[in-house]
Amino acid sequence: MTTHDAGPSPTAPALASVDAGPPALGPIDPAPVAQPVFVPAPGRRVKAAVPAERLSHRAMDEGEFWRRIPAWRDVDTATFLDFRWQGRNSITRIDKLLDAIEGIAPPEFIADAGEGFLHSPMSVRVTPYLLSLIDWSDPYRDPLRRQFIPLFSQLQPDHPELVLDSLHEQEDAPVAGLTHRYPDKALFLALDTCPVYCRFCTRSYAVGLDTELVDKVHLNADSARWEQIFAYIASRPELEDIVLSGGDVYNLPPRQIRLLGERLLGMPNIRRLRFATKGPAVLPQKLLTDNDWRQALVDVVVQARKHRKEAVLHTHFNHPREITWITQEALGLLVEQGVLIRNQSVLQRGVNDDVATMKSLVKRLGHIHVHPYYVYVHDLVKGVEDLRTTLQTAIDLEKAVRGVTAGFNSPTFVVDTLGGGGKRDAHSYDFYDRDAGIAVFSSPNVDPDQQFFFFDPIGALDERFAARWADPHERERMKAKASVMARALRGHR
């Protein structure tokens, strides 16, 4: 694997467009200017300069790294950057995925993964790009593999407090696919498909195909359903902010991107749109070679600006290795057009729950002009207890990351509380019993009278408390005690 530092590498392959000739690689650098020589004044404390080779957040995968996968050994750059080729070769069947990694992953791993998929709530969809980023010399520990390919040997029992729609998104939906929880914001689930299917998806109740474990709620990109959503939004003057998600807006055609922008920005009450997508992390080729889709997004951003409103892109990178030279070039096209890009990560055990990885992720995002916005403490999701961390892990990481870069590039670590309490800063709990793994939050702008809980994974608790969780009566006693303590502490503030 080779890497490069600031800016595109001269050895990186030239980009090829599907609809036009190959564009120049990266921005045009200005002519070199002689730099002044710094001479420290006597008595001044001067920090030592950091050698360029230690700025590892600038070092990304370059070259034709996908050729490490036997199935794509002969795929040239122009073909690999074609979003249509990526779509045609995305893997949507378990047997095809296992065939693709035969010969580069141990046989016992392949058998383990096959059994793992049978116990997963998510259907299978993986792009060639994503599969090529996994380190197949160590697949058991690879942080990218952990997010998309379940291993039966690593699965843990679901938490006893888990329900399929743990955030109560459907309960707070006055129209199918529109969650209105906060005073001035709503979540518009435009569709139920994605370019890939993540193991940890909190929306596994709806996203993707039915599986052995879950019969999904289907939210198709249906015009009649959308019209009901538009009517509701227009009828609520307090709504100002709409998050467009799903599924994933990456899967919508350009005409529907424009339609959503035009209809929503045309409502006097709507001030802000957010297009939420995992796409740039798993299929950056779409931004490079689907010129119509990219232009549709840019047109909505420009339209919003003309109306003195805001339309932005929210991405979803969880690990620094998900950001390559292809990512930088793809998002760079949006940066050139003035598109504001923010990132929302999910905190996951064995993926990004250590200080070095989180610092690297935050710095690398900033380097490509993506603002780290949120890091979500992993929700209670069926079949992925092995990925969850404790609340304390998030609190410690936020302290460690704060100050490593500018404040606007420092994420807030949040808990999306169970039962529909919404997002709360990880450190803003009313009470946190670390022994029992129970945190209690209040959410005054959602429901000032209700308490909302978060539960640490039982596998992270001392054996004595883990055993108490196995007893339903003890479980209720621990929750009741935490509730009483939270109300008492809140009353003293």
How is 196-224 classified by DSSP, letter by letter?
Answer: S--TT-TTTTTSSS--SS--PPP----HH
Q: Which residues pair with 178 in a beta bridge?
A: 175, 188
Range among 37-41, 64-68, 101-105 with highest mean pLDDT value = 64-68
Q: Please list, in sequence order, all residues whose beta carbon lies within 8 angstroms of the beta carbon of residue 179, skipping any fewer than 6 positions away.
A: 169, 170, 172, 173, 186, 187, 189
- Residue located via tokens 């019969």: 215
pLDDT-wise least confident of 81-90, 213-222, 236-245: 213-222
Greater confidence (456 vs 51) lies with 456
CA of residue 94 relative to chain centroid, distance: 23
Identify the pLDDT of residue 214. 59
- Does residue 336 sit in the same domain as residue 484? no
In a domain, 73, yes or no: no
The reported pLDDT for the residue numbered 124 is 83
Q: What pLDDT sits at residue 20?
A: 45
pLDDT at 26: 59
Are residue 420 and residue 440 in the same domain, yes or no?
no
What pLDDT, on a 0 to 100 scale, did the predictor assign at position 102?
Answer: 86
Q: Is residue 395 part of a domain?
A: yes
pLDDT digits (tens, 9 = 90+) for 179-211: 999 999 999 999 988 898 888 877 666 565 555
Helix (H) or strand (E) holding 230: helix 223-235
Q: Is the pLDDT of residue 304 over 50?
A: yes
Question: What integer pLDDT is reported at residue 340 of this predicted model?
Answer: 98
Quick one: pLDDT at residue 213? 58
Tell me the Cα Rg of the chain: 23
Q: Note the pLDDT of residue 197.
A: 86
Domain contains 199:
yes
- Reported as type and span, the H/E element at residue 469 is helix 463-469
**Distance from the Cα of residue 280 to its chain's centroid:** 10
Indicate whether 325 pLDDT > 60.
yes
Please tell me whether residues 343 and 368 are part of one structural domain. yes
Share of the chain above pLDDT 90, in %: 69
Task: Tell me whether residue 282 is exposed, middle or buried, using C-beta atoms within 10 angstroms of its C-beta: 0 to 12, 13 to 18, 19 or more.
Answer: buried
Least confident of 179-188, 200-209, 220-229, 304-313: 200-209
C-alpha separations of 290 from 67, 179, 338 in Å: 23, 30, 18
Q: How confident is the model at residue 8 (pLDDT cuts 50, 70, 90)?
A: very low
Looking at residue 62, what is its pLDDT? Answer: 79
Placement of tokens 């999306």 in the chain? 416
CA quadruple 443, 444, 445, 447: dihedral, nearest 10: 80
Residue pLDDT, tens place only, 397-455: 999 999 999 999 999 999 999 888 899 999 999 999 999 999 999 999 999 999 999 99
475 and 409 fall within a common domain:
no
**Distance (Å, rounded) from C-alpha 384 to C-alpha 379?**
10
- Distance separating alpha carbons of residues 119 and 68, to the nearest angstrom: 29
CA max distance for the chain:
74
Unique residue bearing structure tokens 């498909």: 193
Q: What's the pLDDT at 94?
A: 86
Do residue 305 and residue 417 come from a single domain? yes
CA distance 67 to 86: 14
pLDDT above 80: residue 479: yes
Range in 98-107, 268-277, 439-448 the model is least confident about? 98-107
Amino acid in the structure at residue 260: L
State which of 372, 400, 428 marks the end of a domain. Answer: 428
Give percent of the chain above pLDDT 70: 90
Which of 428, 443, 475 is the C-terminal boundary of a domain? 428
pLDDT of 31 over the 80 cut: no
**Residue 46: pLDDT band by 50, 70, 90 thresholds?**
confident
Residues 364 and 480 in one domain: no
Domain assignment present for residue 53? The answer is no
Number of domains the chain contains: 2
Higher pLDDT pick, 18 / 434: 434
Indicate if 434 and 408 belong to the same structural domain.
no
CA distance 374 to 345: 6
What CATH number corresponds to the domain at position 281?
A: 3.20.20.70
Which one-letter amino acid corresponds to residue 218?
H
Domain-located, residue 25? no
The domain in which residue 459 lies consists of 429-493
Instruction: Write down the pLDDT at residue 210.
Output: 56
How many CB atoms are located within 10 Å of the residue 273 CB?
Answer: 23
Average pLDDT of the segment spanning 132-136: 95
Band (40; pLDDT cuts 50, 70, 90): confident
112 touches 153 (CB < 8 A): yes
- With respect to residue 44, please indicate whether it lies within any of the assigned structural domains: no
Both 217 and 359 in a single domain? yes
Residues 213 and 307 in one domain: yes
Same domain, 308 and 452: no
Q: Give the pLDDT confidence score for residue 275 in this predicted structure.
A: 98
Task: Give, as one character, the DSSP assignment of residue 242.
Answer: E
**E strand spans, 221-302:** 241-245, 272-276
Average pLDDT of every residue of the chain:
89
Note whether residue 250 is domain-resident.
Answer: yes
Tokens 């883990």 sit on residue = 466
Task: Out of 372, 403, 428, pick the residue that ends a domain.
Answer: 428
Does the residue 148 lie in any domain?
no
Is the per-residue pLDDT at 359 higher than 80? yes
3-state secondary structure 303-317: HHHHCCCEEEEEECC
- Per-residue pLDDT tens digits for 64-95: 999 999 889 999 999 999 999 999 999 988 88
Residues 217 and 234 in one domain: yes
Question: Looking at residue 7, what is its pLDDT?
Answer: 40
Question: Are residues 348 and 422 both part of a single domain?
Answer: yes
The reported pTM is: 0.89
User: What is the per-residue pLDDT for 205?
Assistant: 61
**pLDDT at residue 25 in the model:** 55
Confidence of residue 122 (pLDDT cuts 50, 70, 90): confident
